[in-house]
Amino acid sequence: MFKNELQYYIQNKDELVQNYENRFLVIKGKELLGAYDSEQNAYKAGLEAFGNVPFLIKKVTKQEDIVRFPALAVGVVNADI
């Protein structure tokens, strides 16, 4: 899911960072709907444009943050000690 959207973002990242850094993009397929100041505004715009279907909301940053969730913390692995 979101293969085309992420591919679009990666291919255009330099331009997107230059024009929209720290804003939230709405991308559907290879179409950029727009850039918004908040996730909520991006979500509303995506719903209005595309309806209740999957679309990508991506914050534009020079460097991607890595988020890690240890399996025990989110309950993916159950440890009986």
pLDDT in tens, 1-41: 899 999 999 999 999 999 999 999 999 999 999 999 999 99
Residue 79 inside a domain? The answer is no
> Rounded mean pLDDT of 59-63?
94
More confident residue, 80 or 23: 23
Which residue range is the domain that position 61 belongs to? 3-74
C-alpha distances out from residue 27 to 41, 49, 50, Å: 14, 11, 10
Kindly indicate the confidence band of residue 78, based on its pLDDT and cuts at 50, 70 and 90: low
Residue 16 inside a domain? The answer is yes
Count of domains in the chain? 1
Q: CA-to-CA distance for 47 and 50, rounded, in angstroms? A: 5
Q: CA-to-CA distance for 65 and 72, rounded, in angstroms? A: 21
Residue 80 inside a domain? The answer is no
Residue 43 inside a domain? The answer is yes
Residue 64 has pLDDT above 90, yes or no: no
